[in-house]
Structure 1
Amino acid sequence: MSAHKILVIEDHKDTRELLKYNLASAGFDIAAAEDGQSGISLAEAFKPEIILLDLMMPGMDGLEVCRHLKSTPELSRIPVIMLTAKGEEIDKIVGLELGADDYVVKPFSPRELVLRIKAVLRRSGTPEPNAPKLWEREGLRIDFEAHQVDIDDEEVTLTATEFKLLTVLISGAGKVQTRDNLLDTVWDTHFEGYSRTVDTHVRRLRQKLGPYADWIETVRGVGYRFKA
């Protein structure tokens, strides 16, 4: 089996070299860029399976890079993990709204980063065991094996995390999914502060579902439920 391809976009040389070393040691195939524009060009050429993106970069910052990636059809499905500093809470939320799949706060351990990468790769891989191969209701059609969502015969692009979130909600239709349960099953994490990440992804998923947004119901103080 060939190694998973990861693109690192990080302007700080020491951090970039450390990431390259640790990820290569973990068995990944690594490419790296030192700024946003070259990172986009490298994404087009290298075709990574996941992108690690530093938020704070001179010139074209991480949010601009993320916005460009998610608005470019051939790049939009590549999962993005943002690398953030502790004080950048608003940037994390904005990044998630733009379509990033996850974030890791600096300083982080190599082990933590590898776990986050593997979790995102799982979300973009095989469907949930309890999910049907094909699910349809009114104008909403989901092909779980192809990772494709159609709304009124128009394909809608979801990130790997958004697709996993929708899969989990539909697989448990009619049942309340607490934020903690969603963190366990979608993000594979118990990290403090991630409940806000759940809310951000649900809000973004509802926007993409358009006329079917209200099929994801909010259970106040608990979590979310997909209408049975």
Structure 2
Amino acid sequence: MRKTFEEVLEAVWKADEAGDSSLEAVRKRCPIDVTDEDLGVLLKRGLITREGDLLTLSYEGRKDARSVVRRHRLAESLFATALDIDAEKQEAVACEVEHILLPELEEAICILLGHPSICPDGKPIPPGRCCGAKRKLTSTVVVSLCDLAPGERGRVSYIKPKHHERLHRLTSFGLTPGTIVEVHQRSPAICIRFEGTELALDRDVAEDIFLVKTNGADS
């Protein structure tokens, strides 16, 4: 039953994130049937409130939902970057992992990936305690473009721009998650090559692009 309730709480979180907390929207985002009985239990436990057709997470419900969403999106990030699992399988596997991922493993994955703030499909990953402390491993899987030396290559994992216009500009050049880039030079600007394109980036732009080193491999 715990898995069922976590799925419903996660769906309420996602519906609220999308700006539509109606029961219909929650049901569309939930991979299982949302029954009146399930809602009744969550209401009784004080995890959600209901006003007409609108569902809202309580303080405790939001904490539980946040934890599930964080585990799910960290799992997706791990599969997409370190494990390179096919995009179609990421969601299905992440849906299973989110219910069994132990807190210490969740933290270890977050540290390993360099504390990502967004998952592969661009949705925010709720930060954990390790993110505030910015705890690091000796070597993380995901590194900033600024960390690559000339001649080194990497596959773009995610882009975390400080301004949305910057993200649109980078994607318009074809620089998107999954793209293999090679650093050509680091000064005065960081120059990269990818898919027949050469692009010069200021350091404050390059530091928002995160990659997995490929050691010269194309995939």
- When normalised by structure 2's length, the TM-score is 0.28
* Larger relative contact order (Cα-Cα within 8 Å, sequence gap ≥ 6): 2
Larger radius of gyration: 2
Which of the two has greater strand per residue? 1
- When normalised by structure 1's length, the TM-score is 0.27
